[in-house]
């Protein structure tokens, strides 16, 4: 009984993991790296512009610009998810597009960067988005199927061991029943000849 339940638990975990590895959605991503470059009217102003970058919140402003719905619409509203983040203590911004169709993530990212370059003039400041790395080729961002299968095997093994241990320790183990009832004091006296059907027999002297 315990072995059957253990095998059933391991089988359920194994089939669930294998099923997920086949039906899970596969996501592809493309990433571009941009840098905010200063464009001062006078070269003498460059030092002051760089010194005030962290305090001015410029990076956050451009992150919001790149992630805005207006930029996405101007890029043609591609069917992708856009993720934008700034690299701490730098002027670098990374933009990532993700989708299940690997043929759209890279072109969509190019369109988004182009749309941002066209719209940044509305900010009227001394910074300009420059490409540091062009949109990368589509890459899978989902967990590898081999890793999922290996993790499933480990979970199935762990579930089997845990189930076997719990069953053996707490239940589903048949109780041991005595083959006969425990002898009582009366049985002991009767077997010794001290107890009869008429009552106890006491030794008499002749």
**112 in the same domain as 42:** yes
Count of structural domains, the chain: 2
Of the candidates 29, 16, 12, the one whose C-alpha atom is nearest the C-alpha of residue 140 is: 29
Residues 68 and 111 reside in one and the same domain: yes
* Domain shared by 43 and 12, yes or no: no
Q: Do the bridges between strand 92-99 and strand 127-133 make them parallel or antiparallel, or are there none, so unpaired?
A: unpaired
Q: Which helix (H) or strand (E) holds 59?
A: helix 58-67
Residues 53 and 8 in one domain: no
> Does any domain span residue 74?
yes
Note whether 38 and 18 are same-domain residues.
no
Same domain, 126 and 38: yes
Beta-carbon contacts of residue 42 (< 8 Å; ≥ 6 apart): none
Residues 114 and 151 in one domain: no
pLDDT at residue 183 above 70?
A: no
Provide the pLDDT for residue 24.
65
Q: pLDDT: is 58 or 175 the higher one? A: 58
Its domain, for residue 164, covers 2-23+146-170
Domain assignment of residue 135, yes or no: yes
Given a cut of 70, whether residue 181 has pLDDT beyond it is no
Question: Does residue 190 surpass a pLDDT of 80?
Answer: no
Q: Are residues 33 and 127 in the same domain?
A: yes
Average pLDDT of span 141-156: 70
Which CATH number goes with the domain that contains 112? 3.30.70.1130
**Is 41 within the bounds of a domain?**
yes
Q: What is the mean pLDDT of residues 105-112?
A: 96
pLDDT surpasses 80 at 194: no
Final residue of a structural domain among 119, 140, 161: 140
178: pLDDT strictly greater than 80: no
Residues 36 and 125 in one domain: yes
CA 155 centroid distance within chain: 15
Residue 130 in domain: yes
């Amino acid at each position: 009984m315990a072995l059957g339940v253990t095998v059933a638990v391991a089988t359920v975990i194994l089939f669930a993991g294998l099923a997920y590895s086949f039906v899970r959605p596969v996501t592809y991503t493309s990433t571009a790296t941009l840098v905010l470059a200063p464009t001062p009217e006078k070269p003498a102003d460059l030092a002051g512009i760089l010194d005030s970058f962290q305090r001015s919140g410029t990076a956050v402003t451009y992150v919001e610009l790149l992630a805005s719905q207006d930029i996405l619409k101007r890029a043609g509203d591609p069917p992708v998810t856009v993720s934008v983040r700034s690299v701490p203590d730098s002027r670098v911004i990374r933009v990532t597009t993700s989708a299940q169709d690997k043929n759209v993530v890279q072109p969509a990212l190019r369109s988004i960067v182009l749309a941002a370059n066209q719209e940044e003039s509305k900010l009227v400041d001394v910074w300009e988005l420059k490409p540091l790395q062009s949109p990368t080729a589509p890459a899978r961002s989902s967990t590898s199927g081999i890793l999922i299968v290996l993790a499933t095997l480990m979970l199935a093994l762990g579930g089997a061991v845990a189930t076997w241990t719990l069953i053996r320790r707490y239940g589903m183990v048949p109780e041991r029943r005595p083959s006969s009832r425990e002898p009582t004091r009366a049985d002991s006296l009767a077997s010794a000849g001290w107890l009869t059907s008429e009552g106890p027999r006491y030794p008499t002297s002749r």
